[in-house]
Amino acid sequence: MVVVRLPKEIEERLTALARKTGRSKSYYVRQALLEYLDDLEDYYLAVERLEERLPGIPLDEVERRLGLSD
């Protein structure tokens, strides 16, 4: 279990949303956290892939291989 203190403004917004929709505040906190974690995991995976990227081939080398160089 995790306990989180929220600023009053966020707590009020969360309470209003829960009342309006009939869902619990916990539901919305859980959904928001899951979405945030998914996004963060995607971000770190993308960073890892960029760091693993193989070096490219310079344009002049590509042109030479394709017979396009002068």
| 31-49 pLDDT per residue, tens | 999 999 999 999 999 999 9
Residue 5: per-residue pLDDT: 96
What's the pLDDT band for 29 if we cut at 50, 70, 90? very high
> What angle, 0 to 180 degrees and rounded to 10, lies between the N-to-C axes of helices 25-52 and 8-21?
110
| 41-70 pLDDT per residue, tens | 999 999 999 888 888 899 999 999 999 977
Our CA angle for 54, 60, 61, nearest 5°, is 55
Cut 0.75: pTM above it: no
